[in-house]
Chains A and B, each alone.
Chain A
Amino acid sequence: MNAERISSPRDLDELRKRIINQRQENKTIITICAGTGCLACGCEPVASAFKTALQQSGLDKEVEVRTTGCHGFCERGPLVVIQPQGIFYQRTKPSDVKMIVERTIKKGELVDRLLYRDPQTNEVIVHEKDIPFYKRQMRLVFGKNGFMDPTSINDYIALGGYQALARALTAMQPEEIIDEVKKSGLRGRGGGGFPTGKKWASCRKAQGSPKYVICNADEGDPGAFMDRSLLEGNPHSVIEGMVIGAYAIGSNDGYVYVRNEYPLAVKNLSIAIKAAREHGLLGKDILGTGFGFDIEVSRGGGAFVCGESTALMASLEGRTGEPRAKYIHTVDAGLWNKPSNLNNVETWANVPLIIERGADWYAGIGTASSKGTKVFALTGKVNNTGLVEVPMGITLREILYGIGGGVPGNKKFKAVQTGGPSGGTLIVEREWQLDQKKAPQYKSIPKDEEAMSLIDLPVDFEELTRVGSMMGSGGMIVMDEDSCMVDVAKYFLNFLQEESCGKCLPCREGIRIMLKILTRISEGAGKTEDIALLEEMSRAIADTSLCDLGRSAPNPIMSTIRYFRSEYQAHIIDKRCPAGVCKELVSHAIDNNCNGCHACFKPCPTDAIIGTIRQLHTIDQDKCIQCGACYQICKFDAIRRVKRGEGGEIQRKAQEVWKPKTKTQPAAMA
């Protein structure tokens, strides 16, 4: 990389022109997604296979291979997109590379086998932009991800990067920038949704120096990974946002606090910071304006509570990450007791867009109180998992069906969990409710809750809070009828119990006791008064905890009780887990759907499965430990999870009616 220093906005323009001129127009570029998701699927061998194949055919001068940041469609990785046409190949293997080079690159033909096929309509789609997963998104923050090599500052500059910075530093006063951000309506993307402009203004006004600008990349929510993806895929946009913010606030020192579990993010960010320094976009005298600002990367130690601002700052100081009460705001006294402005990765990445295209444009996207786009990590029981960027105010239906492509198999959506452990689990569809007929007998279920479905809920800060969840950092975990809501609440409480720092009593002891009650319920030993007790404790913990981890800890319980009270009651009164998850209440059994593929035989840890190939299998009810390994592996919906003690009956019936299946499809051993 040529370490040429850019000392004015004109230099930046000239460099950009030069980079673009050096590159051939309409050159074929093979972009390969190299986010952590695709790396896990094996994109590296694919990339090197392309390089070898192109060299062998003597095309390595005309065709460029570019490993890019995350494209978002992790489900289908490794992803290969051939630009400028935008031909989209999915689940590419190194063995496919030769064919792509021979047919697509040389002859311009398509390799049908690797194209995306819509699971709902079965239609074959050629171009990336036409795939429903991408078509319904609005990719602004992630817009450049698929086109640039994150380790190349030239790629970023060629795509118009650092133009917003040049504009902010030379044509705008710090107050103007803050006004612009205020006007755009940008709110913190880390969870709380605090207006970013307002925070900047208070930090600018605060007495004391130096002032610190901090980027929170300690993305702790299990099930959210947009910050990792942004730092891996487009680290320069975060750096650019931070420099603009630092100029507006009047700070010269910045920190990025990033999770140690994200090695690639740390690596790409460090490369980007180094390149920005060499180009005079960080450090002293940025773009020849006299303004100086530099960024240090700090790796976190893996504590969820360090996502909380005061805990994060304690951790940055090299102490244990315990939060403190915030009657003095961090903008007045934060890191080393100095004024500190902390924003999340995604918030910082939004800043250059606002400066570049203007606050009015930005404020035109979204709802009355939530502006712009939000990136969600769509995961769990949904066909198209991955990162999706959508305008605020989009409905859950649009996200789950339009982009997510519905639920796999013949199952139904049951719930969506947003906001991580601090958020809530929302009911999505009612039809799954196996308990419908039984519901009236649990008299305490209010009528309106029974009929509730939130599939058409517009997703923004206010709406999510109103229904008892929160935006959080944007995790969206989809659950189908196989997920038990008591188990989900138990899962989050267990997580929070481990992650509670232990400083204040309501959080430390309260969560432990609530977890004990939930465990009791899931084991069939719940008492009728347990639900009321959980509700009462939830209110007390929410009111009296020191930090947001404790204050929001009851959300997973409150929301599941609110929407799935009947499921709690089924556990307590009926000693039954309707979803078949809670081990102590469930039996596994094989029904008539079994075609004798034998795939479940080996995974069983206790040898409880009896049967030979092409014959009906059964589960020895005494040996079975209800681990669910067979359930996970069965592709024919033959494993049933029923009330404890009812398994034997199902297997007896199956034995009476079962006939060898005429078309035996031996299941591919997964």
Chain B
Amino acid sequence: MIKTNEVRQSTDRAIDEIVDRYGAKPNALIMILQDVQKHHRYLSRDDLKSVAGKMNIPLAQIYGVATYYKSFSLKPKGKNHICVCTGTACHVRLAQVIIEKFETDLKIKAGQSTPDMEFSLETVNCLGACALGPLVTANEVYFGNMNATKVDKLLARLKGKEIEEKAEEEAA
């Protein structure tokens, strides 16, 4: 319990810092929430309350904004964040195949996270690199001209990377 309090306090300090950086102006609300979200990859109930208190904006309005815009998530997200572009250009180059491939391999649907919280799968309207479709970003790195074989490689790499990191930790 003490530990969660400590985490809360450090998050609150971080929120204070973020709000101070932009100033408690209503037009900065979306950016403030985006930066807060970077901390735990989602917005918790307590995060929203802290922002509301700090900015003196009704919690209802903040909840409205946090649920209206696509860039916010009120659910925890996985460690590796995979985003499949479903823009028109990617769609005509069979982005659906890529989504289904990820869905079968990770055994989750788009918008969900794996039970071990290693991966979350999402779709995005357009990433703006349409010439390279179908496009996928994994932890904000772009991968263009995707196909099923490349999905296998990408997932292997993401899983492998993790193993390497663990091995390094153990070695240390």
Contacts and interface: CB of A to CB of B under 8 A. Distances in A.
Interface of A: 36-37, 39-41, 74-75, 77, 219-225, 228, 255, 259-263, 296, 298-304, 315-321, 377-381, 385-386, 417, 420, 475, 477-479, 483, 488, 491-492, 495, 499, 501, 599, 602-603, 605, 627-629, 631-633, 669-670
A600 B57 CA distance: 56
A261 B126 contact: yes
Contact of A228 (B72, B100, B125, B128): B128
Interface stretch (B7-15, B63-71, B113-121, B155-163): B63-71
A318 B88 contact: no
Contacts of A670: 145, 147, 149-150
Given A477-B130, A669-B149, 12 more contacts: A222-B86, A224-B126, A225-B129, A261-B127, A296-B27, A298-B31, A301-B65, A318-B29, A377-B89, A377-B130, A499-B125, A603-B101
B74 interface: no
B96 interface: yes
A632 B131 contact: no
A222 B86 CA distance: 8
A628 B97 contact: yes
A55 B115 CA distance: 50
A318 B96 CA distance: 34
B76 interface: no
B104 A605 contact: yes
A321 B67 CA distance: 11
A239 B69 CA distance: 27
**Most central of A296, A501, A627, A669 by chain B CB within 10 Å:** A627
A380 B101 contact: no
Given A223-B130, A629-B97, A301 B69 contact: yes
Contacts of B152: 602-603
B133 interface: yes
16 contacts: A40-B132, A74-B131, A75-B131, A222-B88, A222-B126, A223-B126, A225-B126, A302-B70, A318-B61, A379-B88, A385-B89, A477-B89, A602-B152, A603-B147, A628-B94, A670-B147
Size range of the interface on B? 35 or more
Interface of B: 25-31, 33-34, 57, 61, 64-65, 68-72, 86-94, 96-97, 100-101, 104-105, 124-133, 135, 140, 142-145, 147-150, 152
Contact of B92 (A259, A301, A315, A381): A381
A318 B26 contact: yes
Contacts of B144: 37, 40-41
Contact of A260 (B34, B92, B94, B132): B34
Given A37-B129, A603-B148, A320 B64 contact: yes
B130 A298 contact: no
B129 A301 contact: no
A297 B129 CA distance: 22
Nearest to A417: B88
Nearest to B29: A318
A37 B101 contact: no
B87 A316 contact: no
Contacts of A488: 91-92
Given A41-B144, A632-B148, A221 B126 contact: yes
Nearest to A421: B88
A40 B100 contact: no
A632 B68 CA distance: 35
Given A228-B128, A603-B101, A222 B89 contact: yes
A465 B96 CA distance: 30
A302 B100 contact: no
Contacts of A386: 131
Contact of B88 (A303, A491, A599, A629): A491
Given A629-B97, A632-B147, A321 B130 contact: no
B101 to A, nearest CB: 6
B77 to A, nearest CB: 15
Nearest to B92: A380
B130 A379 contact: yes
Contact of A299 (B30, B94, B129): B30
A286 to B, nearest CB: 23
Nearest to A501: B68
B130 A385 contact: yes
**Most central of A222, A385, A602 by chain B CB within 10 Å:** A222
A302 to B, nearest CB: 4
A629 B147 contact: yes
B128 A36 contact: yes
Contacts of A298: 27-28, 30-31
A627 B132 contact: no
A483 B92 contact: yes
A12 to B, nearest CB: 32
Contacts of A492: 88
B92 A304 contact: no
